[in-house]
Every structure is written in C-alpha cells, then in structure tokens.
Structure 1
C-alpha cells in the first residue's frame, strides 16, 4: 500500500464525511448571519481562553466562566449559531480522533529513542 495514496484517500474521505458536510453547510448559513457569526466567534475564543487557562493550571476565573455561560445562552437562542457550534464541536472531535490515529501510527518504532525520558 502506498502511504501517499492512502493519505489522499483519507483527505477525500474527510472532505466527503457527514461531519465536514454539516460543518460546511452550517458555515454557509452563518456567513449570511453577521450576528450569529460574531456570536460563534466570541464563544469559541472565550472557550479557548478558558481551556488554555485550565491547561496552564490557572484557577478558574468566575467572570470568564460567567461570560462563557452567557454566551452559551445567546448561542442556544440563535439556530444558525447553535447549528454551527454543534457541527464545529463534532468536527473537532473527529479531527482529534484522526490525528491520534495517524500520530500513533507514525510514532511506531520511535519509542526505542525514549525521547520523553531525560
């Protein structure tokens, strides 16, 4: 099996996947809905900021948490924003799963180097 051919097959499968089709369709809807687009962007940025703070070991900021909750309510009240965010979250899960599968396969044989040990 040629790995390049398999990679192109994977790329094609990604483009044709239900998750990508849903994300693309939802993206088209919010392109025409400036309010939904701004809302989704603000929500995603706030969520990323909270996630990074958590990863950095910072204590949860009550104001940031409250703001995120308020944004979640706003998003849930806008069908285009809600549809996009749901598709975005699902696509991110699929992308993370695919990345792990490929990364695990590519790391095979490198464990002998014990790069993570000092």
Structure 2
C-alpha cells in the first residue's frame, strides 16, 4: 500500500532495472524471472504515465503497478510478456472491478486521473 510518497520516475527506472537481476526462483517458491522484453515495455509505460506508481515483480514473471489515493481507493495493473494486462479498481467503499486486455496507456492514464479526482 502507498504511504503517500510517490517514487520518482528515476527511482522507478532503477527499481525496474533491479528486477532484471532476479534469477528464476527469486522468491524461493518457483518465481519466474522478469524477461528483458517485458522490462522494456514497463519502462515505456513508466516514461509515459501521468503519475508514477509503486512497482513490483510478481512470481509469475509479470510486473505490477500500484496506485492508492487518500480516500482508500486503489488501482493496479499487471503487465505480461504477451502485451496483455489485468486491471483492478477498488473504490473507497471496497467495491472492486476487474478487467483484462492489451496494455493500453490511454486507459491506464484515465484510470489514474479518475483515482486522484476522487
């Protein structure tokens, strides 16, 4: 969860580079390594997102981007090597909505705008 301090773009780019050093089984539970092509796609997103997220590697080899607002609402998305993404929105009342599809920068930035408008 977000502590209220957003990472800078340069911090996120360094963190993303560190994901490439994670060997298979980096979590000691069978995690997959992050593929360079996926990291490059994530870098392109980081360079074009209107607000920087918190980013995390996942055990299935994807990269997760997370946002939280001051009212308790949450938006995250996970990108995969085949240029698909899973999206999750949780409003301040805890109601959630999930979606999936191709990675779509316009859709992501609109969700970020909506999150911080609330």
Q: TM-score, normalised by structure 2?
A: 0.23
* More RCO (CA 8 Å, sep 6+): 1
Higher strand share: 2
- Structure (1/2) with the larger helix percentage: 1
TM-score between the two structures when normalised by the length of structure 1: 0.23
